[in-house]
A and B are shown apart, each in its own frame.
Chain A
Amino acid sequence: MIKFSKVEKTYASPAGPVPALKGIDLEIAKGEIFGIIGLSGAGKSTLVRCINMLERPTGGKVIVDGQDMTALSDSELREARKDIGMIFQHFNLLSSATVYENIAFPLKLAGKADSEIKAKVEPLLKLVGLEAKAGQYPSQLSGGQKQRVGIARALASEPKVLLCDEATSALDPQTTKAILELIRDINKKLQLTVVVITHEMQVIKDICDKVAVIDKGVIAEQGTVLEVFTNPQQPITKEFISVLLSNDLPAAFRGGKISPEPAEDAYLLMRLTFIGESADDPVIADMIRKFPEVETTLLFGNLDHIKATPFGRMIIGLRGDTAKVQAALDYLKSRDLKEEVIGYVKRHDSSAD
């Protein structure tokens, strides 16, 4: 549906050229929700604006629905833009127009008749749950309601693609959740391709199918959300994920010397990740049963879902006879889960924490 090939964008500045995008290659399939995550200044806003040419790439091609957007004339581009809806962090509603008039705006621009506009706007008001607010002005609405108007307006011209530029960044967590649910519903109902730009991993985790991590104008990593979450490759990706998943050691071990070699009284600490089916398996119980002489301590545990896939994370500590601990570790490795050995650490107990 959307294809970036070698897209470059360089801004001219008095201090010389500033590259914002450096050779972006991306493919977004029809009907999927594709997340692009990056820190501010990473180039994600520029990237999304290259889809509808609000920013013109200085190199490469952007193909949307088979059309090379970079090659269109002004009037062809205006037509093509009607197939690409966009919502914004600050909503960008007309303050001088009512909710109804705001949603009708793209239809007015297209010169549609009032009766046709009414037939389109009313179902949209219903879709976003704002029937009762049709006659109000944006200043009378809450942030979440404003974004609902933004969404309805973006959908009015029946686009094939919806671009969401930090659409929930100005909203509180509850409202964010409701707006994300609405976007996901619309994606399912209308088979709409959605591109989500955000700096919050939570947003990616909640609604996206695929994710690309952008850093300093290049795509650092991309894949399905599950892949990227469970097996992040790049430090920047790990950083985004660590915001959601506590990667810190429990207080009793934090700051202790981590040694790769076994030592007396030290615990072998490891992170375990269970994905999908294996999250339901009693792996730990089995291990304890098999190696009763190994002391097993559960230090951290968390079970989450990425879309419908369960995703569990755990930090455990094993202590006992070195050979037995190694055998328990080998047993875990034989099971269907991901383990990452942290090392041998002594507990610096009670006194400090």
Chain B
Amino acid sequence: MSNDMIPLLTKALGETVYMVAVSMAIASALGIPLGVLLYATDKGQILESPMLNKVIGTVVNAIRSIPFIILMVAIIPLTRLLVGSAIGTTAAMVPLVIASIPFIGRQVETSLKEVPYGLIEAALSMGATPMQIISRVLLPESMPSIVAQLTTVVISLVGESAMAGAIGGGGLGDLAIRYGYQRFRPEVMIATVIILIVLVQAVQFVGNTIAKHLDKK
């Protein structure tokens, strides 16, 4: 093992964690409300609005149907507009966030659908407003499931961030391609893969632990 490897790996790991964490935070802040909207505007729900539901649903499906690598390239003008450059770790976060928002939206919608309708009915019978039903019934009741779903999103973000690295975003993916593949250093490739495996295992473990802790069922 050459002595330049440790700092290379540390730096790349830091960039990956930074990309994933910040992208996840921004995407969650927008994706969770999107999921609530998808759920609540559906037929027979508390904010039923078929038109709005159809429009949001179509946009979500459209973004989700674009492969990440194409999305990344296709939105370069937007990325330039937002962060001033299309290259670098911060720039890589723009496509990561855009790809994750609809993903999180659908995952959250699925979690909310697991809440028995009886609970909503009970809250309505007590005079709850739609906002109170969302904040005090739907979100707390589906929180263990939402955490489990978001864990899946984080893991897919780790993978996507590696792809983003390939267009100059840095991180473990970038390192594996530039050193492991282009400079014929298989030991860098292997080390990167091991770190990614450990990282994903750790994310899954933390997600499971939190979900289990929240679940009172």
Count of chain A residues near B, Cβ 8 A? 30
Which of A77, A96, A110, A139 is close to B141, meaning CB atoms less than 8 Å apart? A96
Smallest CB–CB gap between A179 and chain B, Å?
Answer: 17
Choose one: B125, B143, B217; the contact of A54 (CB below 8 Å): B125
Contact B216 A81 (CB under 8 A): no
* B28 CB, min distance to chain A CBs, angstroms: 19
Given A88-B118, A95-B217, A96-B214, A81-B141 contact (CB < 8 Å): no
- Provided the pairs A88-B122, A92-B122, A108-B136 are in contact, do residues A82 and B127 lie with their beta carbons within 8 angstroms? yes
CA distance A39 to B143 in the complex (A): 37
Chain B contact residues (Cβ within 8 angstroms of A): what range? 20 to 34
Closest chain B residue, CB of each to CB of A84: B125
Which of A80, A85, A109 has a CB less than 8 Å from the CB of B123? A109
Q: Contact between B118 and A92 (Cβ–Cβ < 8 Å)?
A: yes
| A residues near B141, Cβ cutoff 8 Å | 94-96
> Does the CB pair B127–A54 fall under 8 Å?
no
A82-110 Cβ-contact flags toward B at 8 Å (1 or 0): 10111010101111110000000110111
Give the docked Cα–Cα distance between A139 and B217 (Å): 5
In the complex, the answer to whether A78 meets B122 with C-beta atoms within 8 Å is no
Whole-angstrom CA separation of A163 from B119 in the bound complex: 16
Chain B contact residues: helix, strand, loop or mixed: helix
B216 to chain A, nearest CB (A): 4
Minimum CB–CB distance for B150 against chain A, Å:
17
A300 at interface by CB-CB < 8 Å = no
Q: Which of B114-130 contact A (CB under 8 A)?
A: 116, 118-119, 121-129
Residue B61 interfacial (CB < 8 Å) = no
Minimum CB–CB distance for B49 against chain A, Å: 15
- A137 located at the interface, meaning its Cβ lies under 8 Å from any Cβ of chain B in the complex: yes
Task: Kindly supply a per-residue 1/0 record for chain B positions 87-129, scoring 1 wherever the CB is within 8 Å of any chain A CB and 0 otherwise.
Answer: 0000000000000000000000000000010110111111111
Whether, in the assembled complex, A157 has its beta carbon less than 8 Å from a beta carbon of chain B, the answer is: yes
**Contact between B140 and A106, CB atoms less than 8 A apart:** no
Nearest chain A CB to B62 CB, angstrom units: 29
Residues of B within 8 A of A54 (CB): 121, 124-125
CB distance from B93 to the nearest CB of A (A): 32
Chain A residues whose C-beta falls within 8 Å of the C-beta of B119 in the assembled complex: 92, 94
Q: Determine whether the beta carbon of B128 is less than 8 Å from that of A109.
A: yes
- A147 at the A/B interface (Cβ < 8 Å)? no
Instruction: Please classify the interface of chain A as helix (H, G, I), strand (E, B), loop, or mixed, using the class held by over half of its residues.
Output: mixed
**Given A94-B140, A94-B141, A109-B136, are A86 and B118 also a contact pair (CB < 8 Å)?**
no
Contact B143 A96 (CB under 8 A): yes
With beta carbons under 8 angstroms apart, the residue of A52, A90, A93, A108 that contacts B125 is A52
* Chain A residues within 8 Å of B132, by CB: 109
Task: Choose among B118, B125, B128, B129 the residue with the greatest number of A CB atoms under 10 Å from its CB.
Answer: B125
Q: Tell me the minimal C-beta distance from A329 to chain B in angstroms.
A: 55
Interface residues of A in 43-66 (CB under 8 A from B): 52, 54
Structural contact, A96 and B124, CB atoms closer than 8 A: no
Say whether B127 contacts A79, CB under 8 Å: yes
Chain B residues closer than 8 Å to A95, beta-carbon distance: 141, 216-217
Within 8 Å of chain A (Cβ to Cβ): is B137?
yes
- Tell me which residues across on chain B come within 8 A of A93, comparing CB atoms: 122
Residues of A within 8 A of B123 (CB): 105, 109
The B-contacting residues of A in range 133-173, CB under 8 angstroms, are: 137-139, 153, 157, 163
Interface 1/0s, chain B 131-151, versus A by CB < 8 A? Answer: 010001100110100000000
Chain A, residue nearest B141 (CB): A96
Partner of A86, one of B122, B128, B136: B122
* A106 lies within 8 A of B127 (CB): yes
Residues of B within 8 A of A80 (CB): 127
- Beta-carbon nearest neighbor of B214 in chain A: A96
On whether A92 and B121 interact (CB within 8 A), knowing A108-B136, A139-B217, the answer reads yes
Question: B112 → chain A, closest Cβ, in Å?
Answer: 14
* CB of B44, distance to nearest CB on chain A (Å): 12
Q: Which residue of A lies closest to B122 (CB)?
A: A92
Q: Which residues of B contact A110 (CB under 8 A)?
A: 127
Which chain B residues in 184-217 approach chain A with CB under 8 Å? 214, 216-217
Which residues of chain A are near B124, meaning CB under 8 Å?
54, 81
A-B pairs, top 6 by smallest CB distance, nearest first, are A92-B122, A78-B127, A92-B118, A81-B127, A137-B216, A106-B126
Q: Interface residues, chain B, CB within 8 Å of chain A?
A: 116, 118-119, 121-129, 132, 136-137, 140-141, 143, 214, 216-217
Enumerate 18 A-B pairs (CB-CB under 8 Å) in ascending A order. Answer: A77-B127, A81-B124, A88-B121, A90-B118, A92-B118, A92-B121, A93-B122, A94-B137, A95-B141, A95-B217, A96-B143, A97-B140, A105-B123, A106-B126, A109-B132, A137-B216, A153-B126, A157-B127
